[in-house]
Structure 1
Amino acid sequence: MKIRVFETPSDAGLYVAALAERVVLDVPNPVLGLATGSTSCPFYQAFVKFEKCGLDLSRTTTINLDEYIGLPDTHPQSYHYFMNEQLFDHVNIPRDQIFIPDGAAADLHAECERYDDIIRKHPIDFQILGIGVNGHIGFNEPNDLLLSRTHVVELSHDTIASNARFFTDVSEVPRKAITMGVQAILQARQIVLMAFGKEKAHIVSRAIQGEVRTDIPASILQLHRDVTIVLDKLSASELPHAEYIA
């Protein structure tokens, strides 16, 4: 596990974009696993600039981690909307190479199976992750068991409360989501987890220094062969200085 700490989220986003560019250039048909949320925005901002400066993404396939259940694609807080606004509307990735779970599907079980089939056909080369204040990755919430395949999840109180800032009222936050399972995440060839801000410092420390445990889902990343943890100084504030390179 590599840990990199930057002065600002913008600096960190530029670093992650450079890592993603290397994958795009080195792999004939690269597959990027993508995340949503404010943490990922500095990466997308930098990656769009790379594309405008000549990076060709036309051979790239993207697979998103998750989507709320019950929000139409056009809802401003849906992850479809977020990804279009932050990335897809600004780059030359063909639309038929973009995959996001359908949270409005009539048959959610069939949608989970469809998504697992997509992941099997397109093994992920480079997976971006954020981390929830409770340690979730994707929407794999703390639980006695971590499900391996794409599944429907009941969002935890912590997640609902944290995501309420994006909605007019907490009552508007969806209570369920579709999420990629931990097996697909761990099968990615390379993983980058990003975390910024003081509110993430404690869970970052527990996830990467403590035991691997299901009530801190991100701790399972300790088992992966190629993980880079990308932080700012606030989110790294509970790590010993010897454990990271500033």
Structure 2
Amino acid sequence: MKLLVTENYETLSQITADIVLMRWAENRRVNLALTAGSSPKRAYEILAERLNQVFFDQSLAHFYNFDEITLKDQEYGLTMQALTEELFNPLGIVEENIEVLDAGNYQDYDRQIAEDGGLDLVLMGIGGDGHFCGNMPEFTSFDYGVYRVPIKPGDELYKLIDESSPHTPGEEMVTFGAQTVLAAKKLVLIANGEKKAEIIKQALEGPITEDVPASILRLHPNLTVILDQEAASKLK
């Protein structure tokens, strides 16, 4: 594991954008699974700025959403809506290069990734409960590839989605499991802010346990963790 502690969120974002660009610049098909959310927001802004300044062959980059939460009466789920707004539209990614994961194809998705040459980079955040992708402590297993989790009104997952989206949650979530993520060539985990300091300590210095799902990422031979000083403040 390579640990990078940056002075601030801006530097974290610059390094994250550079890592994505270095993969993109390899002059071959590159398969990327990049997270949505607040942590990578600035990195994607930097990425869009740099892609406007330097030529990159857009056709070489293919994007895989590593989880999806269905929403009632919506064509796309929560993750695809966020990625479209935060990443795909600003970068001008064409539809043909977006390999959608959803409730209809999740059972074949591991096979599709393998046939496409495997994932070159997975960029993830970490939840306050230690989850990565959609691997929540209450239902994850380190033995899973891509899998489905039912969503029921009143359960914790339903409440979480209902609070974070203007749309009504659907009936299921699909997500990369640990086995799918660990099969990727390179993993990057990013976190910023003091609110992530305690779970980062547990994930990086505590036991590897399904109670803190992100702890399994330490077993990957090519994992880079990028933190600002606040997120790293409780590490030894």
Alignment TM class, shorter chain as reference: 0.7 to 0.9
Spell out, residue by residue over 1:9-33, the C-alpha distance to the aligned partner (whole angstroms, 9 max, x if none). Answer: 2221110110111111125111111
Instruction: Specify the code of the residue in structure 2 equivalent to 1:62.
Output: F
Instruction: Specify the code of the residue in structure 1 equivalent to 2:229.
Output: K
Q: CA deviation at 1:60?
A: 0.6
- 1:15-54 correspondence to structure 2 within 5 Å: 15-26=15-26, 28-54=28-54
Unmatched runs of 5 consecutive residues or more in structure 2: none
Matched with 1:112 is 106
Query: What is the distance in 2 between the residues matched to 1:120 and 1:220?
Result: 21
Q: CA deviation at 1:118?
A: 2.3
Query: What is the distance in 2 between the residues matched to 1:211 and 1:32?
Result: 29
Moved over 4 A (4+): 159-165, 171-175
Matched with 1:196 is 192
Spell out, residue by residue over 1:64-110, the C-alpha distance to the aligned partner (whole angstroms, 9 max, x if none). Answer: 111112342457xx2212111111112243321212322xxxxx4x5
- 1:114-133 correspondence to structure 2 within 5 Å: 114-122=108-116, 123-133=118-128
Q: CA deviation at 1:114?
A: 3.0
Instruction: Specify the code of the residue in structure 2 equivalent to 1:38.
Output: S
Q: Is this contact kept in 2: 1:154–1:175, CA < 8 A?
A: yes
My pick for the range that moved more, 60-69 or 175-184, is 175-184
The 1:203–1:174 alpha-carbon spacing in structure 2 relative to 1, beyond 3 Å, is farther
Query: What is the distance in 2 between the residues matched to 1:94 and 1:144?
Result: 33
Query: What is the distance in 2 between the residues matched to 1:219 and 1:165?
Result: 27
Q: Is this contact kept in 2: 1:32–1:60, CA < 8 A?
A: yes
Query: What is the distance in 1 between the residues matched to 2:135 and 2:82?
Result: 20
Q: CA deviation at 1:115?
A: 2.1
Matched with 1:224 is 220
What's the TM-score once normalised by structure 2's chain length? 0.87
CA RMSD of aligned residues (A): 2.4
Unmatched runs of 5 consecutive residues or more in structure 1: 103-107, 241-246
What's the TM-score once normalised by structure 1's chain length? 0.83
> Identity over the aligned pairs, expressed in percent?
26
Q: CA deviation at 1:147?
A: 4.2
The 1:40–1:220 alpha-carbon spacing in structure 2 relative to 1, beyond 3 Å, is same
Matched with 2:147 is 151
